[in-house]
Amino acid sequence: MASSDDDDEDLKRAIALSLQDPTTGGAGETAREAISLDSDSETETRPTRTASRADVIKECPDIRAGLDLSGLDRKRMEQERLGRKRKAPSISPPPPRRTGASGRLIGSVSAREATATAHQAAPASRASSASNGKGPVFLAGTVKKTWAFGHERKGDDIKLEEVLQKDELNLAVLSSFQWDIDWLLAKINTRSTHITLVMQAKDQATQQQYRRETAAMLNLRLCFPPMEGQISCMHSKLMLLSHPHHLRVAVPTANLVSYDWGETGIMENMVFIVDMPRLPKGQCTKAEDMTFFGKELIYFLEAMGLEQSIIDSMYSFDFTLTKDVAFVHNIGGTHSGDLWQRTGYCGLGRAVQELGLATDKPLHIGFVTSSVGSLNDDFLAMLYLAAQGDDGLTEYSWRNPPVTSRKKKTAHEDIQANDSVRERLRSRLRQDFQVYYPTHDTVKNSTAGSAGTICFQSKWYKSPSFPREILRDCKSVRPGMLMHNKLLLVRSEDDPSKSWAYIGSANCSESAWGKLFKDRATKEPKLNCRNWECGVVLPARLSVSSSDHGDLKEFEGIVPVPMQVPGDAYGDKKPWYFTEQ
């Protein structure tokens, strides 16, 4: 006779454990201890757990972020969990698949299949030494492409395993928009590594659901950045990886899914990596001595709501060699007072100033993006001026002339002068600002044949205000690959030493960079940011002169330029519209 679920003590215990509030601790364990980046060994104290709980929590719960998790049949789920091996399905699905003439699936395989073929395809002799190093590898910072299955390794790429250095990984803070939990946790020693996942959850109910679903997972915690009001997306990608001898900060354009890290050979991304040596025991960097990079990184972590113990431990590492790099961000929400100057495109302009890259000379801008918003001349001007080092007030003053403090005649003259400047800039933007985004044909002819994370809407492209002439077809230098990159390549026409690059999560849209508005109450500027984003700015600083607008020699040895340049103008071709195929 079949036994009742209510008679299954293991099942009842699993249900009880998964429904507990993880902040209060469960039966047989104390409340969770504070964690930090400070641990320099794998022998630090762990929470004490009873054997009965350990027997139950060895199975990994389902996590499906971005989906409606309410109303699950808890008993059924727990019964299935106890009856299978450790399994946590992908939080987000892989890109759409197509079939070839033979009916074989092209461009997408399971995470397990991809991982297996990846190891077969890359002999140890060809693997990067970064994966085997036990200390800091990238002290000066570096930019790498993500490795791609089926493509030759040329020294400018890296695998996720090589980024993580899992053998001595004490703590990992991982931020992403899309997740494949099963695939990710297979790359980490989950019994010895504390893990904090920074995830999007718009409301308290969703947060509580995710916490319940992960309550039984060893050494795993969740962080939910604020999503109130008009904030629409927690899109930032960031890794804090603590090792015995160093802290690694990685800023990828990739989500934590197998295809973004090249394991299906269809999609490529980029990642900035820098290693900070651990200071001698008892020493800390003073807050006032922290580099601009470190200060803005910590500011961003605080805004996200990361555990204070982790943030405090950032001062245990030497950030000195990040003095020539800037961490920039777009913090979701409204920013007023002086805070608007610190984030969004205003913060980008501030970072350009901080690095000594500001200029009033003309620039050539190439923006590689995987998503295009509803662009217009105002947005292009905002970004262009920020690239020159402007804090956002120039373009803001064009839209909000101070007419109340001047005579009407003077104000009218100022408006006319501003209009003239805007028109000259508009003309230059159409010539010197290129946005690299793939055409419909480029995507269809790629290895994948489709792209679910490359997004654009026809209503925006067909809008009279959309600057169509700035679009260039984005084709990879690795044939057949599609890009999920977010890359700004900014070149000074008169002074190559003012050239710089941005690598991060921000696409070419107002949502990703924010916009300054006049506060109706205070009449002062306020910045509205709909997305959470982050990235880095690093200078080219090479004495290379070139009058060819398609030449990117300034970035040789700094950024592995991923696309073919100069990109082809669209002409009569149409962009890739994922939702309108």
Binding residues for substrate: 237, 486
Residues 6 or more apart from 332 whose CB is under 8 A from it? Answer: 225, 226, 227, 231, 233, 234, 529, 530, 531, 532
Among the listed residues 243, 329, 364, 484, the single catalytic one is 484
Please count the other Cβ atoms lying within 10 Å of the Cβ belonging to residue 31.
Answer: 10
d(CA 39, CA 171): 8
| C-alpha separations of 304 from 193, 199, 492 in Å | 22, 10, 34
How far apart, in Å, do the first and last CA atoms of the chain sit? 54
The strand pair at 270-277 and 500-504 is best described as: unpaired
The strand pair at 487-492 and 363-368 is best described as: antiparallel
d(CA 179, CA 170): 21
Residues 6 or more apart from 569 whose CB is under 8 A from it? Answer: 469, 471, 472, 473
Helix (H) or strand (E) holding 175: strand 171-175
d(CA 537, CA 328): 7
Q: SS3 of 555, please?
A: helix
Residues 6 or more apart from 83 whose CB is under 8 A from it? Answer: none
- On whether the CB atoms of residues 458 and 581 are closer than 8 A, the answer is no
d(CA 510, CA 522): 23
Among the listed residues 151, 235, 243, 329, the single catalytic one is 235
Residues 6 or more apart from 116 whose CB is under 8 A from it? Answer: none
Burial of 238 (0-12, 13-18, 19+ CB in 10 A): buried
Phi first, then psi, for residue 185 (nearest 5°) are -65, -20
CB-side neighbour CA atoms (13 Å) of 185: 26
The strand pair at 246-252 and 238-242 is best described as: antiparallel
Q: Is 484 a catalytic residue?
A: yes
Residue ranges at the known binding site? 237, 486
Please count the other Cβ atoms lying within 10 Å of the Cβ belonging to residue 92.
Answer: 18
Q: Is 549 a catalytic residue?
A: no
The DSSP-derived string for 287-341 is GGGS-HHHHHHHHHHHHHT--HHHHHGGGGB--GGGTT-EEEEE-SEEE-TTGGG
Catalytic residue annotation:
235, 484
